[in-house]
Chain A
Amino acid sequence: NAGVTQTPKFQVLKTGQSMTLQCAQDMNHEYMSWYRQDPGMGLRLIHYSVGAGITDQGEVPNGYNVSRSTTEDFPLRLLSAAPSQTSVYFCASSYRGTPGNTIYFGEGSWLTVV
């Protein structure tokens, strides 16, 4: 049981380049989301999905794109990288139900835009 798998773990991009952060989960969770974590800002929601074919914006969606073609995969695309997108990115999945409300996070992707 791999849980939530993110790739790559580290990436350096030049301003203006595009790239995709991959995320896959093997727990058959309905909900998947992407967060960025910055010092003093905590975890901020970028985009989320409540199921295959359905996505929605979170708190900080600008400059990012997502799609959810399958239950398992939820890639995050940076369209034209900017230094302000230097951050640690976490993919997460969760299930709807009780008890609990557990979010499972990936290991993180450290992105630097120069």
Chain B
Amino acid sequence: QKEVEQDPGPLSVPEGAIVSLNCTYSNSAFQYFMWYRQYSRKGPELLMYTYSSGNKEDGRFTAQVDKSSKYISLFIRDSQPSDSATYLCAMSVDTGNQFYFGTGTSLTVIP
């Protein structure tokens, strides 16, 4: 079983839709949870991070962590064509420690 599972999609939504991206994991020791956005032919860049359980909001983006279910989500409100990218979840046990990535979900927002 992989440490982190993520539905690869692809996901295609109309502009303005709410997007939900999810990952599940198996290691209960994970404490740090991150979402990265990767545009085509570019390196991933950090979008949001969360420590332990709970919600975190940043503009149109909300990250949720449910450690009891080993499930994390990223919600994008009022999606824009510029949100079209691959979204990768990542997690780690400790700061600066080994990071475990999901395979990424490809999102296309249609104008």
Contact = CB atoms under 8 A, between A and B. Distances in A.
Looking at chain B's contact residues, the main secondary structure is strand
Interface in B1-36: 6, 8, 32, 34, 36
A96 interface: yes
Interface in B22-55: 32, 34, 36, 41-46, 49, 51
Contact of B98 (A4, A48, A96, A98): A48
Contacts of B32: 101
Interface stretch (A13-21, A65-73, A74-82, A103-111): A103-111
A31 B92 CA distance: 14
Contacts of B36: 103
Contact of A101 (B42, B44, B88, B96): B96
A101 B92 contact: yes
B103 interface: yes
Given A41-B103, A42-B104, A101-B92, A108 B42 contact: yes
B95 A98 contact: yes
A105 B103 contact: no
Contacts of A90: 43-44
Contact of A100 (B49, B98, B101, B102): B49
B95 A40 contact: no
Nearest to B34: A101
B90 interface: yes
Given A43-B88, A43-B101, A97 B96 contact: yes
B75 interface: no
Nearest to B6: A42
A48 B97 CA distance: 10
